[in-house]
Structure 1
């Protein structure tokens, strides 16, 4: 007989199955289309002039400062902005739907009637989202790595794994922020707005703050900087950044779990 927690996890994964398939397919197709365009872009020489006219700071912010190289091309067209942003939005929307959305619609009442603590119900729902993010990230990594090998691109396997890991952890952190906001009782809408806002502001601090001497120190508080600031595609796993991403994720999820156990659950 399955435990209540495993049943909650199974049902949570089942609920998000269609959305997870759609997100995974879209991100895999995005990754494949970006990598498959490399041979034609390289042979045409168009990449050499891509960042012409941009200041070095702006080119770095957009991730196109080394776009003529294979690793720079992957970074600029996939890992610098697009994949972290989309995976982060996937994380935030899935978290708010499985927690705040189901609570506001009254769908959590049956689960809360099971012999399991309220905090456990919410925490397992968060783990469902983390599982979906991990699965999607692995599929993207396999797609990119397989394409890189087949096209004989000068990109290391370790670099692709490292940057995919940090982008996935970045998404988990923002899922945790949405989870914490729901945990404190603010509902799906505010959680979605605040977590998405933190995602965008974090990118701006990471990409734009270094352009100004006065604002440059602010880049260090951005989760994007922790994940991508050391260019993991070239330099491998940034263990300090990974530790920060994991630590902050644990803190915000623990705070949300603590809070949800001490408030009233909304009814539909």
Structure 2
């Protein structure tokens, strides 16, 4: 199991980190980081509000807040918040020895001190690339996937029409005679369907008249393809006499 401890710098640089979840890791926000983000929120005018993001992540179960107890980590090169972060990391390792802890931070001093303790670090950008981008549970992905599947009858129809058109073009290019015969047959059926079964010419509507014209057009195109398909054969002369160009 991996626990990724989110530093203040990682959350500020990539606020979306607390809104994601990954099947590979559990995201942990130390209590000291929440306090520091609260101070940032109180001084912010129009910027992103980080504490509400964390609260939403906790409610959604995508992150957990870990309280820490003194003593805090002391180092002259580190700010007090950074020292409290490292204290949180040490506390996590002590209380959960079986957990692999990774610190997500963009603070170089924190990263250096963390590595001296034999712990792995990762930047916020690396975190997004390695653990978060493409996660199936990323908010919105499941909804978008559901929408795509739900509209398959719409986009699937257009895709099928394009593929069928390309397939017919391939068939016509290689088997023009058979394609032409098929066209003539389809044209006859389409035109005859206008009158079948009553053959009442007075009942023909404008839409049916358009279908009749379409059927006749397909028949003409079929005849042309038949002529091209038998070109160079012993039947071409007879065909040319029946249907001269």
Report the TM-score when normalising by structure 2: 0.23
| Structure number with higher strand proportion | 2
Which one has more relative contact order, counting CA pairs under 8 Å at least 6 apart? 1
TM-score when normalising by structure 1: 0.21
